[in-house]
Structure 1
Amino acid sequence: MNARVPLSSGFVNGDVSFWYRSSGVPEPGPRLDGDLQADVAIVGAGYTGLWTAYYLKKARPSLRVVLLEQEFAGFGASGRNGGWLTGDLAGSHERYGAGARRLQREMYASIDEVIAVCETESIHCDVVKGGVVNVARTPAQANRLRASMAAARAWGIEEADLRLADPAEHVRVAGALAASWSPHCARIQPAKLAQGLARAVRDLGVPVYERTPVTEIAPGRAVTPYGTVTAAYVIRATEGFTARLHGLRRQWLPMNSSMIVTEPLPASFWDEVGWRGAELLGDMAHYYMYAQRTADDRIAFGGRGRPYLYGSRIDARGRTHEWTVEALWRLLVDFFPAARSSSVAHAWSGVLGVPRDWCSTVHVDRATGLGWAGGYTGHGVTTTNLAGRTLRDLILGEETELTSLPWVGRRVRSWEPEPLRWMGVHAMYRLYRVADHRERSMPRTSALARFADLITGH
């Protein structure tokens, strides 16, 4: 690793994520052993699959629900994310249309729903509803922040939901010119939530077959090397790993996101920067960051790094390029110069699913029994819960407030074939990096960033 990044003596790169260090990476459970019949087969034991199984069994205990997972429950983004249980929509209000206001309210309510289930099921995942701060560190970013506030008001997001804040009110970030504050966000420890949900689902009688990759999904069946599960409904809950399935390589783009975490920081550091609670922290840059203060007083700090591998390939074990680790460290100490005395304890990466229009979707085709949810674009910790409850209602054939939300049944065109896909994504993020640099001396958003948005429909 580059000598410019101080690494702790026990530094780890990859090995899924830091979130498993306290408990150890789980040993996968039993795999499927022969053909099986079920009412609902769910492919993928991340948050989407686990929430769907949980709500189905709670609603209809007699249902035979089966989960199929190629590694172990929580192996993907569910065990690697930044721990933001946020009310932000995946995608823009405009693209969801008139129903976006209801969808936004359901997202806010889903935060409290997750917290309530954690209490009911004794899932100890360090959850604290501390809200979220977004900072602007250049005049252009400050103007974007104010514009986003005006747009939020137009969509019914009130002062109590989102407001301008003094840059020093919650967290003192070096160079912050403006800030916003929303109470609709909670910190979690992602792996603890995933493992707790897996336990709750098993306790409800749902078998979770791990080390069981699904090679084909078709009406009425999910095929694995060890047997076929036949079911009236087969639900795809594979998010960033969807591109591995036959015929779905261009469905959702597997976007890489990377994180580093520091060693525990002393009380003097937290007093100096004013970060006294469990607020989540983001910014208004195009090449944006996200961070949390962990339960054991570290900073977990994330960003895009190397965003996309050619051909929708995935580095499944989470190892992170040293350039990315260095870039994240530089940005962290730029935000918090007092953190220079610390060191990096762990670095890792994961993939999230990005649809061509950057908006999530949930769907069940009752004629074929095939369904899916995903394309969360990095907002999946909360959105998966709403997806699980919506899939429950769609599978059970119930017309509810959830089944009429505007993300239900949305169809989006596929991503372009290679090399256009690789060229477009890398051009987009290169333009964003240059735009962020130029905006240090500009009062308005760079035209390069607007062009990047145009390229990929962001």
Structure 2
Amino acid sequence: MEPDLTGPLWASTVDVPERPALDRDIEADVAIVGGGYTGLWTAYYLSTADPALRIAVLEAARCGFGASGRNGGWCSALFPASPSSIARRYGRDAAVALYAAMRESVDEVGRVSTVEGIDCGFVKGGTVSLARTTPQLERARAEVAEAAGYGLGVTSLSAGEAAARCAATGVLGGTFTPHCARIHPGRLVRGLSTVVAARGVAVYERTRALRIAPGRVVTTGGEVRAPVVVRATEGYTPGLPGLRRAVAPVYSLMIATPPLPDDVWSAIGLAGCETFTDYRHLIVYGQRTVDGRLAFGGRGAPYHFGSRVRPEHDHEPRVFAELRRVLVDLFPVLDEVSPTHRWGGPLGVPRDWTASVDFDRATGLARAGGYVGDGVTTSNLAGRTLADLITGRSSDLTRLPWVGHRSPRWEPEPLRWLAVNAVLKAMTAADAAEEKTDRPSRRAALLGRFLGS
């Protein structure tokens, strides 16, 4: 089945001319497989470092078709592995450096957007995370304590302070971090594609990579020969030969309201364009969009056997209904408001929940990904790091602990299907139990061990 290129809200509110498909064999200095944030940021910084490089970006659909054009629009300093888990593996200094680089990357996205004239609605309003049960409040306090040990700048909010930013029901407290910007992800990814193309990067759309090997990429339109090949395929990685167990494509779904009037926004808050979430186990996330909608998403869609990624998996009526239920529970003023957009897509989840970036100079193969949904900013850091690695520039970025990290492969089927869906069900059950009893769920401790937290 051909992918539906009409896309989610973000794609429907941006218009960029379609780029040609590859229709012949070509040669390049760097071939980049994937026209999302990772591939485009890599092309951007490589072309900055060496304008003479012949760079080809190969995208199976349209640039930003995957997670880069479907995400919640959080340009945040979140890294999928916690600072404590990074510190256990690589030491506290390494964890501090990695998270500092993430914070710097938030500002770098804003800087490039301004310099290159990409109107992506970048507003650094921070993130408010709400606690609406006693267990959630305990987790909020634990996060503040952990963040203080690594200089992350997460502060506690009283019930009144949290509600003043995001006026959800039943707020007991929360936290705030300034290190997040609201963006329009579709405008950012399409803007990047325009910028790199203007720099001379060859961008080919509707050109699916069939096989990646040292020195070559075989595609549906021809073969690209290049001494350096970058894999930037995230949730679509399992579709490539030999990579079925590299990441698990886990779906996240979203809904969006129509533009809301001022009186409704007065009841909701988010006056500073803060992004928002809460401390439930099954992640939810939201933002006030550039055009005054509320875009809201979350996990809960099933993992599909064999790491299958299909267009029909983008739409799970049960999950959309639950997202709307949760949104109205948070903001009853939306009870009569029906979503105008519903969409979803796969995330790339490595077995140890740790993103990574790498370049093997001997083979010329490079890769980045495994963002677990935190890829808007992490992909910028990946692009800058890959540019340094490929051009041979030693920098603070190339010494960060995620460089060269190797996540273990996922279990073979049916164990992978059983494990991932069991975790999703357990998170749902843990949230239901905590809401009912107002006590921490015992399932949560087991989840933490499985997720490596």
Q: TM-score band (shorter)?
A: over 0.9
Query: What are the residue-to-residue correspondences of 1:208-357 with 2, within 5 Å?
Result: 208-316=203-311, 319-357=314-352
RMSD: 1.6
| Separation in structure 1 between the aligned mates of residue 269 and residue 413 of structure 2, nearest angstrom | 47
2:188 corresponds to which of 179, 190, 193: 193
In the TM superposition, residue 444 of structure 1 has moved relative to its aligned partner by 4.2
| Separation in structure 2 between the aligned mates of residue 64 and residue 14 of structure 1, nearest angstrom | 28
Q: Which residue number in structure 1 is paired with residue 141 of structure 2? A: 146
Q: Please identify which structure carries the higher helix content.
A: 2
Alignment pair present for 1:82 and 2:72: yes
Deviation track 1:40-71 (CA, whole Å, cap 9, x = no partner) reads 10000100000000000011000111101111
**2:409 counterpart SS class:** coil
Q: Which residue number in structure 2 is paired with residue 70 of structure 1? A: 60
Identity of aligned residues (%): 48
In the TM superposition, residue 290 of structure 1 has moved relative to its aligned partner by 0.0
Q: Which residue number in structure 1 is paired with residue 157 of structure 2? A: 164
Structure 1: stretches of 5+ with no match in the other structure: 1-12
Q: Which residue number in structure 1 is paired with residue 435 of structure 2? A: 440
| Separation in structure 2 between the aligned mates of residue 237 and residue 14 of structure 1, nearest angstrom | 20
Contact 1:333–1:339 under 8 Å retained in 2: yes
Q: Which residue number in structure 2 is paired with residue 452 of structure 1? A: 447
Deviation track 1:192-245 (CA, whole Å, cap 9, x = no partner) reads 001000000001100101111111111111111322111111000000100100
In the TM superposition, residue 456 of structure 1 has moved relative to its aligned partner by 4.6
| Separation in structure 2 between the aligned mates of residue 153 and residue 441 of structure 1, nearest angstrom | 31
Alignment pair present for 1:47 and 2:34: no
Partner amino acid, structure 2, of 1:61: P
> What TM-score do you get using the length of structure 2 for normalisation?
0.95
| Separation in structure 2 between the aligned mates of residue 65 and residue 120 of structure 1, nearest angstrom | 22
In the TM superposition, residue 27 of structure 1 has moved relative to its aligned partner by 6.2
Q: Which residue number in structure 2 is paired with residue 431 of structure 1? A: 426
| Separation in structure 2 between the aligned mates of residue 167 and residue 32 of structure 1, nearest angstrom | 51
Compare 78-87 and 309-318 and name the one that shifted more: 309-318
**2:335 counterpart SS class:** helix
Alignment pair present for 1:155 and 2:150: yes
1:20 corresponds to which of 6, 11, 22: 11
In the TM superposition, residue 151 of structure 1 has moved relative to its aligned partner by 1.1
Contact 1:17–1:348 under 8 Å retained in 2: yes
Q: Which residue number in structure 2 is paired with residue 111 of structure 1? A: 106
Contact 1:27–1:72 under 8 Å retained in 2: no
Compare 271-280 and 437-446 and name the one that shifted more: 437-446
In the TM superposition, residue 441 of structure 1 has moved relative to its aligned partner by 4.2
Deviation track 1:390-427 (CA, whole Å, cap 9, x = no partner) reads 00000011110000000000011100011111111111
In the TM superposition, residue 443 of structure 1 has moved relative to its aligned partner by 4.9
| Separation in structure 2 between the aligned mates of residue 211 and residue 179 of structure 1, nearest angstrom | 44
Partner amino acid, structure 1, of 2:14: S
| Separation in structure 2 between the aligned mates of residue 127 and residue 364 of structure 1, nearest angstrom | 31
Partner amino acid, structure 2, of 1:126: G
Q: Which residue number in structure 2 is paired with residue 5 of structure 1? A: none
| Separation in structure 1 between the aligned mates of residue 195 and residue 151 of structure 2, nearest angstrom | 36
Structure 2: stretches of 5+ with no match in the other structure: none
In the TM superposition, residue 363 of structure 1 has moved relative to its aligned partner by 0.1
Compare 444-453 and 43-52 and name the one that shifted more: 444-453
> What TM-score do you get using the length of structure 1 for normalisation?
0.94
Partner amino acid, structure 2, of 1:195: R
| Separation in structure 1 between the aligned mates of residue 20 and residue 5 of structure 2, nearest angstrom | 24
Compare 132-141 and 432-441 and name the one that shifted more: 432-441
